Amino acid sequence: MTNYDYDLFVIGAGSGGVRAARMAAGLGVRVAIAENRYLGGTCVNVGCVPKKLFVYASHFHEDFAAAKGFGWTTGEPQFDWAHLRAQKNQEIERLQGIYGNLLGNSGVTLYEGQASLADAHTVKIGGQQFSCERILVATGGWPAIPDMPGKEHIVSSNEMFALETLPNRILIVGGGYIAVEFAGIMHGLGVETTLCYRGDKVLRGFDEDIRDFVVQEMRKKGITILLNTPIKAIAKMPNGLIAETEEGGELQADLVLYATGRSPNTAGLGLEELGAELGESGAIKVNESYQTNIPSIYALGDVTHRINLTPVATAEAMALVNGLYTETPTPVDYDNIPTAVFCQPNVGTVGLTEAEARKRFGDIAVFKSVFTPMKHTLSGLGEKTLMKMIVQRSTDKVLGIHMVGADAGEIIQGMAVAIRAGATKAIFDSTIGIHPTAAEEFVTMRKPVDG
């Protein structure tokens, strides 16, 4: 037993922080956790969970339209934003309660308030101070909005989940996953939607075919997408907002959402004053054991600005706790981490892009299929699905799998298991498909598109 108040003090009760706190407490470690906003962090409150609920809600207009092709006669659908928001809030409150119970039942002491570091072994919260053998910073990220004229008229993704009313017209600035997801959500809920991005393609870092196909399908649905169009100012007018482009054009909207990235949430923690090494964006620099240059201080999750995904943060939390308090370390393998983008249609991806594979291995074969899913042969909606597989010719090993289409995330989760197990193309080819499904396309692609 140490002379410290706590063996481990966690700052931030998001997915990573809560997992670390609970696991450590279960091993007999004396743990406290501090949170100044809401239990569950970004994912539960203003991220993954409410976003996916909104995606479900926004897709119903297409389901109603598709029903006619299958013989259904439907009335004119009516959407109630206030009801959806209230339902979402109720679910978030339920999840917050679960997080609180999990912490309490694990024996973790919860403090509500802004925590900061007084020194390498001391955490301050209000007028209280606590000595700690180790401190873990898991404060996540925060929306980054650039300084520009009219910034005060801009909302971030945080505010989108609590709008009092839906706008008639929205301008979404950005080209990452948050931007394209909200474009689908707003369009699906009946909002006239324009997505404006300064780059030439959305979803930087994804496979090039995926990037092109997503834009194609979003435009088919009626979303206006403006590429190579930087915004330099926002002005409030009597009839709404005006966004001025760098080329002198004007875009009108009732609401302007900036989804231009997220920054590590390190402001006010006192890290710089202690000499902790931070990156340019404020990201906390850590070694392979999630330890900063100050030996008693650790960090994980989005605040380190590496792979900003909720399951990665929870995996890092388990790796940290096992490394510190058990004899069986469980390091995180950062290769072949699957991910999804819940735009419409969805994106699911795991492994290397075609460009990455060509650069790393050279001898690759590319298999690709674009088709009309069975549902849409009768729906009349015209939505297409793209599936793509990258294979190393010399080893026959599958290096990457990418998909744009309904339930892509659900399908790619299973594909990720296969890739991590080292599956070859021959194994895929010898696997009998489930018919009729879209997923069976991955085991029936025989001829590479590059010969």
pLDDT of amino acid 74: 86
Say which of 59, 187, 305, 435 is annotated catalytic: 435
C-alpha to C-alpha distance for 303 and 281, rounded to whole angstroms: 10
At residue 142, the 3 state secondary structure works out as strand
Do the beta carbons of residue 214 and residue 347 sit within 8 Å?
Answer: yes
pLDDT of amino acid 2: 67
Short-list 413, 292, 266, 300, CA closest to 23: 300
- The neighbour count for residue 449, using CB atoms within 10 Å, is 12
**Which ranges of 304-423 does DSSP label H, i.e. alpha helix?**
310-325, 354-360, 376-379, 408-420
At residue 321, the 3 state secondary structure works out as helix
364: left (phi over 0), alpha (psi -120 to 50) or beta: beta
Copy the structure tokens of residue 194: 């324009």
Q: What is the pLDDT of residues 161-214, one digit of tens each?
A: 999 999 999 999 999 999 999 999 999 999 999 999 999 999 999 999 999 999
Which pTM value belongs to this model? 0.96
C-alpha to C-alpha distance for 407 and 429, rounded to whole angstroms: 22
C-alpha to C-alpha distance for 182 and 268, rounded to whole angstroms: 30
Short-list 283, 282, 251, 261, CA closest to 203: 261
C-alpha to C-alpha distance for 407 and 310, rounded to whole angstroms: 19
Angle, CA 414 vertex, CA 412 and CA 419 arms, to 5°: 85
Which parts of the chain sit beneath pLDDT 70? 1-2, 451
Domains assigned to the chain: 6-142+263-325 (3.50.50.60), 151-260 (3.50.50.60), 339-443 (3.30.390.30)
61 is annotated as an active-site residue: no
